[in-house]
Amino acid sequence: MGRHGYAQREAGVTPFWGPDFDELAETDPEIASVVLGELDRLRGGLQLVASENLTSPAVLAALGSTLTNKYAEGYPGRRYYGGCAQVDRAEQLGIDRARELFGAEHANLQPHSGASANLAAYAALVQPGDTVLAMELPHGGHLTHGSRVNFSGRWFDTVGYRVRRDTELIDYDEVRDLARAHRPKMIICGATAYPRLIDFARFREIADEVGAYLMVDAAHFIGLVAGRAIPSPVPYADVVCATTHKVLRGPRGGMILCRGSLAERIDKAVFPFTQGGPLMHAIAAKAVALREAASPRFRAYASQVVQNAQALAAALAAEGMRPVSGGTDTHLALLDLRAVGVTGRDAEARCEAAGITLNKNAIPYDPEKPMVASGIRVGTPSVTTQGMREPEMRRIGGLIARAVRTDPGRPGGTETLARLASEVAELVAAYPAYPRG
Ligand SMILES: *Cc1c(COP(=O)(O)O)cnc(C)c1O
């Protein structure tokens, strides 16, 4: 039996009925092998996807708990079902922790994902057909910021702003001009592939000038805000949407912070407008992550995440990969590979063969199609959770550069990539993800 399995329960040692791997292995060996295989993958390679992280055992324990069984439509103290006294405590703790950590007047922890949080923000603030000003996807925006294949582009009249060609920074003058010309009801800032700080005060000024709401999509960087590594959007935004599973290192899910005056509209937009019953196990796990994120240890973590991203960007720059915008202030860097003569798609595949997981990414004004792309995106949340620091980032920069330059179609290429994979395995063995008991 596992640490929290029947044995202890029967002995009355702990009332907790938590994840018991033996139980899974017995009931469903196929899924058990997936879980083990994924753990091996995490332990055996480098995870550099900027939107991923490695949750703590405490977060996983809450996620794998019996709270998943409870129907709790509504909010703490106002539910449509009985038996909610316990889950009410979890959600209230989470709300209180979020408000305290971010200095927000109101918090909603029920969105199932970042995209669901954004859908609720649209539902609360605008009507179908209204104009919304947001960053263009190829310049770092998200699908929910107006893509034609998403509800946002289908149901709203979206106008996109870009980064400047010369600096690759948000063009605030263009944002202001577009806002004046189109009079949007809502302006969105926050991105999935923008390595620099965003001037929230400037966005607030522009939104005020045209009478628009300001929604900050902090999905990627809310964890850096929690750890005080970058400035907070909370004082400037009407609504801040976020995920809980990126730098914040919580369970997969969403979160909304807002002014008290918008609390009721946000809550109603989440439930009953866009969602049904909340995922109480996930909400409890969000509460755990928020408690962890309020600790001095997490502050040290968040600042190391940024230092690591800067070290990695510098190491890659030294290898001829140009950091878009010249570097990074956050947990991620975007690298232009055109000078190396390798596409983002090929770079991603070569790194994968070398045990390095990262993603191809369009760079601003990318001449390639999105599925090919001229760049890659790297992020340091996971490797920093594993305890790596600047010296390891320099090593990783070298490993990425060698992988990217190795064509598996050339003689000896596959062998070189396999050799790199064993170097990667050796490096990560010293900083294991989920160390064995
Ligand atoms: C990741 C992300 C989202 C979506 O989060 P999901 O949980 O994948 O739905 C939304 N906006 C931005 C800016 C993101 O980076």
CATH T-level assignment (fold) for domain 66-293: Aspartate Aminotransferase; domain 2 (3.40.640)
User: Residue 67 Cα, ligand 1 centroid: separation in angstroms?
Assistant: 25
Segment (H or E) for 392 = helix 390-404
230 CA from centroid of ligand 1 (Å): 19
From 3, 9, 73, 405, the catalytic residue: 73
Token pair recorded at residue 64: 């794998």
Give the position of tokens 């995870």: 47
Using most ligand atoms within 8 A of CB, pick from 52, 151, 243, 256 the residue to mutate for ligand 1. 243
The yes-or-no answer on residue 246 being catalytic is yes
Q: What is the pLDDT of residues 198-250, one digit of tens each?
A: 999 999 999 999 999 999 999 999 999 999 999 999 999 999 999 999 999 99
* Sign of the torsion formed by the C-alpha atoms of 296, 198, 251 and 286: positive
Q: So what CATH class is 296-429?
A: alpha beta
Contact 399, 351 (CB under 8 A): no
Please say whether the beta carbons of 218 and 203 come within 8 A.
no
Distance of CA 247 to the CA centre of its chain: 6
Is residue 275 within 8 Å of 111, Cβ to Cβ? yes
Strands (E), 190-346: 213-217, 239-243, 254-258, 322-323, 332-336
Residue 268 bears catalytic tag: no
Residue nearest to atom 3 of ligand 1 (CA): 114
Q: Do domains 66-293 and 296-429 have the same CATH topology?
A: no
Q: What share of the chain is helix, strand, coil (3-state, %, to 5)?
A: 50, 15, 40
Residues in contact with 188: Cβ distance below 8 Å, sequence separation at least 6, in sequence order: 132, 133, 134, 135, 141, 145, 215, 216, 217
Q: What tokens does 243 get? A: 């995920």
Record the tokens describing residue 96, joined without a space. Answer: 């209180």
Model pLDDT for residues 109-166, shown as the tens digit of each residue: 999 999 999 999 999 999 999 999 999 998 989 999 999 999 999 999 999 999 999 9
What local confidence, expressed as pLDDT, does residue 23 receive?
87
Q: How far apart are CA 144 and CA 114, in angstroms?
A: 9
pLDDT at 21: 82
65 three-class SS: coil
Q: In angstroms, rounded to a whole number, what is the distance separating the alpha carbons of residues 338 and 405?
A: 12
217 is catalytic: yes
* Low-confidence residues of the chain: pLDDT under 50: 1-15
The verdict on whether 365 is a catalytic residue reads no
- In the beta sheet, which residues pair with residue 135? 161
Which structure tokens are listed for 270?
């989440």
Examine the residue annotation and report whether 73 is marked as an active-site residue of this protein. yes
29 in Cβ contact with 10 (< 8 Å): no
Residue 386 falls in which region: left (phi positive, over 0), alpha (psi -120 to 50) or beta: alpha
The Cα–Cα gap between 305 and 426 comes to 22
d(CA 375, CA 346): 10
Instruction: Give 357's Cβ-side CA count (13 Å radius).
Output: 18
The predicted pLDDT at position 9 comes to: 45
Is residue 71 annotated as a catalytic residue, yes or no? Answer: yes
Asked if 140 and 193 touch (Cβ cutoff 8 Å), the reply is yes
B/e letters for 142-161, b = 16+ CB within 10 Å, e = fewer, are bbbbbbeebbbbebbbbbbb
Q: Which residue, by CA, sits nearest to atom 8 of ligand 1?
A: 114
Map out the domains of the chain as residue ranges: 66-293, 296-429
Strand 46-47 versus strand 356-357 pairing type: parallel
Residue 215 DSSP symbol: E
CA quadruple 103, 108, 112, 116: dihedral positive or negative? negative
d(CA 254, CA 286): 9
> Of 9, 164, 252, 299, which is the active-site residue?
252
Candidate list 217, 238, 267, 329, residue with the active-site label:
217
pTM of the model: 0.95
Determine the distance separating the centroid of ligand 1 and the alpha carbon of 427, expressed in angstroms: 30
Two structure tokens written together for 234: 């909370």
DSSP summary character for residue 170: B
What distance in Å separates the CA atoms of residue 153 and residue 158, rounded to the nearest whole number?
A: 6
